Chains A and B, each alone.
Chain A
């Protein structure tokens, strides 16, 4: 039975007003992980970046792996949400906010990692182009400067894309609360009332944002791929890297979204809203991306193998047969062998099935990022300069803390913001599922109006 508007409001506001003991245990665990990372980072600041396992020639390790991984995860939200909005997929309604929140937090984490990597994060503002007494400007030819612009734009766009449809829900929380909470939500709601004019402006703005954010999301991960592809390093200098990275980002993003939704469903008791059909649909998308990922990986490796260029083959065999082979084949198993049968067979494409497949994909995609960064750097053109890399406890702690930070931000967000858009769910209660209709000229049929939804 479909819930009423009142029921929707009660159910979706409940996590904001009442939290279980399990919630606070999860917050404590995530905060502990984050604090461990803060301590490790403090040690790094005190002792210098030499406490990392980086060396010549492997100047990038866990940090850049994590950076690429988190920027990839960020594609879960805004991109998927924007595409679903533009295609007017009505099943998107319970999914979009969970997804958009992932984007904002993972881009934020992704943006923090290069600041750690530069060793002296207090000088990070040097990346900002402004007239200064040093007469130094960022080198606009550098992909790292492109990263700065792309990630800043994406973070701004994603935050706006998350905030705008949340304004009416802030107003709902404002109207349902008292005291200090009411004052806080009054500010967050910006005085939203819900007049037709406000709704029209909001929907138009969301439509424009959805149109704009899709190319921005694609550009962000393409530019991240160019951090590698613009460098003449074996197995990096490839034109396939842009689309390969974008596909991989969407792949890992959907997996992260499914995992987040499965956890929210269980712990916030949102079974009525995050239904098996949502996992089925996202599972199909994940399956498509798994196949696409395999295609790109095969095309990339085949081209390298067929070209038989010695520097490329050194990296190729290093990852397929030698030192990194266990990681490479684990990646293939995690990204393809396990998820494809689970997601392809309808009987297995359940909530548990998609969550298991997503777990393996998240692991597999982290390994993929690692295998792009490290084997190539360790085996550049001159064999006498070859080397390898082992992460230290500081790097491992920082990586673990990035997951802790993500979990903590997400948990706290779910405490302050309804994780499912209340007003969009109410739109779904309207006749025709909220899709606007008008009578056709002959008065017999109804015509679905197109336009911003």
Chain B
């Protein structure tokens, strides 16, 4: 995997580059999914970031909580019913105390589901290699095209520079 990319000192420049690349997808014959943006920190309030916003993790967390709670309920209820404990007429499956286990399992379910949804949503783990640049650590934002069409590289470079790139580079995955 190779990439042609520019490094931008701020998010506004990166946004201009993204817009310019998107506008050129049909002309230069590459898929918008090939556009790569990498930064060392999140940039809220810009389209290239906000368009990635998803509310999918929330219902998944709730579902995880429900599954966790159900597991807790079944664990306590079924085990207490199967174990012949003499309770002197008191409830065999006391809701108050079982509720504490169910509560903890609800939370555990939500936590584990959130973790899994994050990993899946963010495409992690991914050990195939990543395209990165040492300047990202210095606050630069990388915007480029992965596996750019050979004939379009000059035009891509021109567009990246025009958007305000301080440098344009070509890189293989690191």
Q: Residue of A at shortest CB range from B104?
A: A149
Residue A414 at the B interface, CB < 8 A?
no
Q: How large, as a class, is the contact surface on chain B? A: 35 or more
CA distance A167 to B55 in the complex (A): 21
CA distance A196 to B39 in the complex (A): 8
- Measured CB to CB, the closest approach of chain B to A361, in angstroms, equals 29
Residue B70 at the A interface, CB < 8 A?
no
Residue A197 at the B interface, CB < 8 A?
yes
B residues near A213, Cβ cutoff 8 Å: 111
Q: Which of A141, A146, A204, A215 contacts B107 (CB 8 A)?
A: A215
Residue B66 at the A interface, CB < 8 A?
no
A residues near B75, Cβ cutoff 8 Å: 129
- Let me know if B104 and A153 touch, CB within 8 A: yes
Residue B34 at the A interface, CB < 8 A?
no
Residue A24 at the B interface, CB < 8 A?
no
Q: Residue of A at shortest CB range from B98?
A: A140
A residues near B166, Cβ cutoff 8 Å: none
- Let me know if B114 and A212 touch, CB within 8 A: yes
Q: List 30 contacting pairs A-B, 8 Å CB cutoff, sorted by A.
A: A5-B137, A9-B137, A129-B79, A135-B83, A140-B79, A149-B101, A149-B105, A153-B108, A157-B107, A157-B108, A164-B115, A172-B40, A175-B134, A175-B136, A175-B174, A191-B127, A193-B132, A194-B39, A196-B51, A196-B52, A197-B52, A197-B121, A199-B41, A199-B52, A200-B53, A201-B57, A205-B118, A208-B110, A216-B107, A423-B42
Stretch at the interface among A107-115, A231-239, A290-298, A434-442: A434-442
Chain A: residues with CB nearer than 8 A to chain B?
A: 4-6, 9, 129, 135, 137, 140-141, 145-146, 149-150, 152-153, 156-157, 160, 164, 167-168, 171-172, 175-176, 186-187, 190-205, 208-209, 212-213, 215-216, 219, 223, 422-424, 426-427, 429-430, 434-438, 449
CA distance A394 to B137 in the complex (A): 50
Q: Which of B48, B83, B98, B131 contacts A193 (CB 8 A)?
A: B131
- Let me know if A156 and B111 touch, CB within 8 A: yes
19 further A-B contacts with Cβ under 8 Å, apart from A157-B111, A197-B123, A212-B111, are A5-B137, A135-B83, A140-B76, A153-B107, A172-B40, A175-B137, A175-B174, A190-B127, A191-B123, A193-B132, A195-B52, A198-B123, A200-B54, A205-B115, A208-B114, A212-B110, A424-B41, A435-B44, A449-B44
